[in-house]
Structure 1
Amino acid sequence: MSVENRTVSATTDPPAAPELAPADDWNPITVTDYPAEYRRLRAERPVAFTSDYDGFWGVMRYQDVQKGSRDWRTYTSGQPFVEFPEFMKSIPIQANPPVHTFFRKFLSQYFTADRVAMLVPDIEEVVAHNLDPLVARGGGDMIEEFGRIVPQQVLAKFMLLGDDAWEAMADSLARADAVRHDLAKHREVNKTLWNPTVEALIEDRRANPQDPAIDVMSGALLLEPDGRPITQEELVALGVQIFSAGADTTTAAIGSIVGHLGRHPEAQRELRDNPALIPTAIEELLRLAPPLHQVGRHTTRQVSSHGREIPEGVKVGLNVYSANRDEEKFDRAEEYVADRSPNPHLTFGHGPHQCMGSPIAREELRATLTQLLARTSSFELTAEPVSNGRPLRTGWTNVPVRFS
């Protein structure tokens, strides 16, 4: 366990661990150690317990994570992140059927292929606008000067917000980021991080409704899916879900993609010589570096798995990072293979809670990588990327690059 994690854990007053909890099988560790540690756990402890973050059981193998993601009756939603016991009230990520089914059906109309296609020109424009100054001066920080900005501006376009709305969204993220090394403070901030932004948007849409066929918040206010209105509390939780889902996961993915290609010029050349590989290369880097390692669940009954007994009513982390590198599922599982196909990684989830916004994230990543390769002859890191310091997360605070 890292010194940083020991300090973080000491700032909290965790509830009692589950009765008869086993000795620790592992502890969350530093980012460079994750691949080797997860490989060990898949082989030795495919169901592993840690006392960190108030205690939880980690499920490490692909087949078990995939099955657990589908089985909402056994692994129920409610606490999506194992490290945040009181995360912002969000719908539908914290809901289970039939509530989850109701809201997913309502939201699906705003994430159709046609709706995403409407957004693509905006995505291309946002990427170009933010890449221009970096290319002009020969480089910069692909997180601070690009990765933190582009997803917020795209989300603002999707939500039909004003041109400067992304700045307030970025400020909210910065407030959470400022206390990321203190888990107690981070937990407190995340209870209501997006509420003021969402509440202001709801009031604006009450006074100035947009086309409910393309604006999700106007639709939530004006439409009555299946004949029932959406309550104010549900409206806030729905908005919080949308804002938080697009917050920093795409930023992390941008950093991982640029970081990998900046270290591996041969991988860059392969994509420059064959741009048709860009979509599969993106999927491969999403497989190897999922922004979120764990999908949080709670057991509704005792579960027997790999010789372990997971008690009823305890926290479980379905480990996507480990599952994505499972040697029993993926050939050359620890390697980057640009043309890997099929690539059934679990980075965007699986089952009822599969990420609805993934088509938008993919378009952002595609536009970023396509334009970056087209507008440069090469790029390289000028220093090693700086870790974002968040246990159980993949991502960087800084990714400095030089363009040629």
Structure 2
Amino acid sequence: MENKSADWDPRSEAVLKDQLATYDDMRRRCPVATSRYGYTSLFRHADVMHVLMDHETYSNAVSRFPSVPNGMDPPEHTAYRRLIEPYFEPQQMEAFAPVCREVAVRLVQALPEQADVELMADFAQIFALQIQCAWLGWPVELHEPLRLWTLKNQAATLARDEAAMSAVALEFDGYIKDLLTARRNAGSAAPDDVTTRLLRDQALGRPLTDDEIVSILRNWTVGELGTIAASIGILVHYLAGHAALQQQLREQPALLPAAIDEILRIHAPLVMNRRVTTREVTLGERTLAAGTRLALIWASANRDEAVFGDPDEFRLDREPQLNLLYGAGIHVCPGAPLARLELRVVMEELLGRTRRMALLADQQPVKAFFPASGFSSLPLHIEKAENATPHG
């Protein structure tokens, strides 16, 4: 239901022209703002952090679909969270790192030696898809159906077409249930991968149901495909516009983890996340009734001058706990270690195997539409290095 007397319209042409500038303005002018779409948006770091640290007042149970564990509150959330966290432990990331490196190397090597490319379609989206399938143990034959599914999902979300979103969700469920059936039929010969491990997981004292596994994998896949591709686009765009930093990171790849988090603080790959109030609250001198739907605008909170000073100043010595790139509180992103591994490796290979990445003067990037972030198209000139720097 749309609110006609709203403080802002996140989908308006003016906002979409420059989302970050709009968020900066809203943070100063109207930090707790109603939108046309039934959400009250929070723009300040302090307000977002307050919500993240009070899960009893601000519930995560906002989705129309089962959402394990993202859309749950304690105590239900606690048990599922305990189940999924081991999948992202350091030893799991260490075991996956060589596979991640192999995918990154193959795709960087496939880029032309010296040419203009469209980075999003030619590289970022392909990497996100292939790396997610590799981590989950999904077959190569699923790459193209999942690519098309991602496009349909984005179109349905952008159009706010609930019927289309439901159809897309059912299509994804079908892919997963086919994979589960194949693994059950294979018995002890089933591949030893994340999907099979979920099928056999007994952390709840019982096997997970198919619906629970589908929900977990949907959450991981939808989040991963969109944000990893967006993050690569944002990182490369920033470095292409900052040649000195680009070269510094080539020469000092150990700085990459901090640099990646800082660039993605400046330009968030994920615009917002949702909550709903369980009681009447006051935020920014505005009283909100129980049941008020909230949009936590990460892309604004991580640029708050009260916390970061000049939001566009690139610094490698930021306090990591202030950066809300992966959230905070009990719902902090469990997949952060995987995302950090994938982004570090892909940027090491991109920088190590090129000598120059530059924006094109005659072709402008196309910004992604809300609720997406980053770029839907990123024309780029790439020059490969004669002697690639090996990593890993």
TM-score (normalizing by structure 2): 0.88
Which one of the candidate residues 327, 335, 350 is aligned to 2:313?
335
Q: 1:70 aligns with which of 23, 33, 53?
A: 53
2:33 is matched with 48
Equivalent positions of 1:304-323 (< 5 A) are 304-323=282-301
Instruction: Tell me how far 1:250 sits from its aligned partner.
Output: 0.4
Superposed displacement of residue 42, structure 1: 2.0
Bigger fraction of residues in helix: 2
Q: How does 1:137-176 map to 2 (within 5 A)?
A: 137-176=114-153
Does structure 1 residue 132 correspond to structure 2 residue 89? no
Give 1:37's aligned residue.
22
Answering whether residue 148 of structure 2 is matched by residue 198 of structure 1, we say: no
Query: Aligned pair in 2 of structure 1 residues 392, 107: CA closer, same or farther (>3 Å)?
Result: same
Alignment gaps of 5+ in structure 2? 384-392
Aligned 8 A contact 1:110 1:215 in 2: no
Q: How far apart are 1:104 and its partner, in Å?
A: 1.0
1:384 aligns with 2:361: no
Structure 1 residue 223 displacement after superposition: 3.1
Question: How many Å separate the matches in 2 of 1:112 and 1:101?
Answer: 17
CA contact (8 A) 1:89 1:240 kept: no
How many angstroms does 1:188 deviate by?
4.3
Q: Runs of 5+ in structure 1 lacking a partner?
A: 1-13, 81-85
Distance 2:255 2:137 in 1: 32
Match of 1:260 among 220, 235, 238: 238
TM-aligned CA deviation for residue 65 of structure 1: 0.6
Aligned 8 A contact 2:261 2:325 in 1: no
Q: Residue 328 of structure 1: CA displacement? A: 1.1
Residue 91 of structure 2 corresponds to 114
Q: Assess if the C-alpha contact under 8 Å between 2:365 and 2:377 holds in 1.
A: yes
Mapped to 1, the partners of 2:152 and 2:77 lie a distance apart of 30
Q: Is the 8 A contact 1:263 1:380 kept in 2?
A: yes
Deviations 1:199-219 (A, max 9, x none): 112212222257999633333
Q: Distance in 2 between matches of 1:222 and 1:133?
A: 37
| Superposed displacement of residue 131, structure 1 | 1.1
| Higher mean displacement: 229-238 or 171-180 | 171-180
Equivalences for residues 194-273 of structure 1 within 5 A: 194-209=172-187, 215-273=193-251
CA contact (8 A) 2:83 2:203 kept: yes
Give, as a single letter, the amino acid of the residue that structure 2 aligns with 1:294: M
Instruction: Answer whether contact 2:158 2:371 (CA < 8 A) is retained.
Output: no
Aligned length: 376
Question: Which of 281, 288, 299 is residue 303 of structure 1 equivalent to?
Answer: 281
The answer to whether the Cα contact below 8 Å between 1:56 and 1:316 also exists between their aligned partners in 2 is yes
The answer to whether 1:402 aligns with 2:384 is: no
**Distance in 1 separating the partners of 2:340 and 2:188:** 26
C-alpha separation in 1, matches of 2:5 and 2:347: 45
- Report the AA paired with residue 65 of structure 1: V
Amino acid at match of 1:277: L
Alignment partner of 1:276 is 2:259? no
Checking the alignment, whether the CA contact within 8 Å between 1:211 and 1:218 is kept in structure 2 is no
CA contact (8 A) 1:381 1:400 kept: yes
Name the structure 1 match of 2:69: 92
Deviations 1:64-117 (A, max 9, x none): 11121121111111236xxxxx4x532111111122111111111111000011
For residues 127-150 of structure 1, the C-alpha deviation after alignment (integer angstroms, 9 at most, x for no partner) is 111111214353422111111111
Work out whether residues 119 and 233 of structure 2, in 8 Å CA contact, stay in contact via their aligned partners in 1. Answer: yes
Q: Is the 8 A contact 2:113 2:382 kept in 1?
A: no
CA RMSD in angstroms, aligned pairs only: 2.4
> What secondary structure is seen at the aligned counterpart in 2 of 1:285?
helix
Sort the Cα spacing of 1:181 and 1:71 in 2 relative to 1 into closer, same or farther, 3 A: closer
> Whole-Å Cα distance in 2 between the matches of residues 98 and 39 of structure 1?
36
Confirm whether residue 182 of structure 1 aligns to residue 162 of structure 2.
Answer: no
- 1:106, 1:225 within 8 Å by CA — same for their partners in 2? yes
| TM-score normalised over the length of structure 1 | 0.86
Residue type of the alignment partner of 1:205: R
Query: What corresponds to 1:8 in structure 2?
Result: none
Task: Say if 1:192 and 1:291 are closer, same or farther in 2 by CA, change over 3 A.
Answer: farther
- CA shift digits 1:256-284 (9 cap, x unpaired): 01111112223223323433322211011
Q: Is the 8 A contact 1:252 1:396 kept in 2?
A: yes
Q: Distance in 2 between matches of 1:273 and 1:71?
A: 43
Distance 1:399 1:50, change over 3 A: same
Q: Shift of the alpha carbon at 1:190?
A: 4.6
